[in-house]
Amino acid sequence: MPVTLDDKLVVAISSRALFNLEEENLLFEAGDPDAYMRLQLERLDVPAAPGIAYSLVRKLLRFNDDGQQRVEVVILSRNDPASGMRIFNSGAAAELRIQRGVFTQGRSPFRYLTPLNADLFLSANADDVREALTAGFAAAHVNVEAALASQLHPDEVRIAFDGDAVLFSDEAERIFQSQGLEAFQAHEADKAAVPLAAGPLAPFLLALHRLQRASATGMRIRTALVTARGAPAHRRAIQTLMSWNIRVDEAMFLAGLDKGGFLREFEPDFFFDDQMGHVASAARHVPAGHVASGVSNEALQRIAAPAPRD
């Protein structure tokens, strides 16, 4: 029978999201890819240190411990194929069962998400993440300066999600930004029984729940919704999850409070948010990534766009 990734949770990840390659990356960013490749080859047998998403990947792969291949992790990298050898060697040294990789030597690799049928793409390259999100894939730009995950929960994958523009569409966020908090709360109270449309990370959350139901390894998944919503706007978020037949283990309706301290206590292996300020706050305590989705990021892109020439 042909080899297929059907019925598996597929995580595509860049080498810098999985391993700490920031020293080597300085050469690449300086415009000297040849020096970068030489350094990688010199360190071919020196395992790279864990990166920001390492804990998440390691724990997800443990769902295969009973011999049933439920999770597939694929390296999807702008590295050249020769440098890719070090990535595979580092994975082998860490006993991560990763056998597939795509190395594009500086070109954007996101187009390979389609044949992989990836459930999640994690990358340290913001442009690649934006292209993946535009193409309809769950994706996040990993903050490579974030704290590493806690080691206190070896048998539990902990993942925290923001709500609007991450698990849910940005419908409500658009009301908030255009009309203010009072209009937002009134809109959400009025629409409490009407489920929100799915956001870019909703398919990944659904895939996690399928994985948990199928597993017989003793590994567990614990999820949390960590949102700036507060009462009465909390009801629509809960009703939406119920309509998807999904229950998160924890829900934090913070009504604008800073998320960082709450995430420090939850100790996730990864946190996803669409707003850079929340990602920066979280990154002081936990692994975090930016989901460049929704109206907040449209505004950022307009600000960042170069002014037209006269």
Q: What domains does the chain contain, in order, with CATH numbers?
A: 9-142 (3.40.50), 156-301 (3.40.50.1000)
pLDDT confidence of residue 15: 95
Percent of the chain at pLDDT exceeding 90: 71
Average pLDDT over residues 74-83: 90
Q: Is 162 a catalytic residue?
A: yes
pLDDT confidence of residue 299: 59
pLDDT confidence of residue 1: 66
The torsion defined by the Cα of 42, 43, 44 and 50, in degrees rounded to 10, comes to: -160
List, for residues 87-140, the tens digit of each pLDDT value. 999 999 999 999 999 999 888 898 999 999 999 999 999 999 999 999 999 999
Q: Name the CA radius of gyration of the chain, rounded.
A: 20
List the one residue out of 233, 223, 243 whose CA is nearest residue 162: 223
Is residue 309 pLDDT above 60, yes or no?
A: no
Q: Give CA angle at 142 (249, 138), nearest 5°.
A: 60
List the one residue out of 254, 197, 200 whose CA is nearest residue 224: 254
Quickly count: other Cβ atoms within 10 Å of residue 246's Cβ. 16
Is residue 165 pLDDT above 80, yes or no?
A: yes
H or E element, residue 111: none
**pLDDT tier for residue 300 given thresholds of 50, 70 and 90:** low
Q: Which of 162, 170, 269, 273 is catalytic?
A: 162
List, for residues 28-63, the tens digit of each pLDDT value. 777 777 888 888 889 999 999 999 999 999 999 999
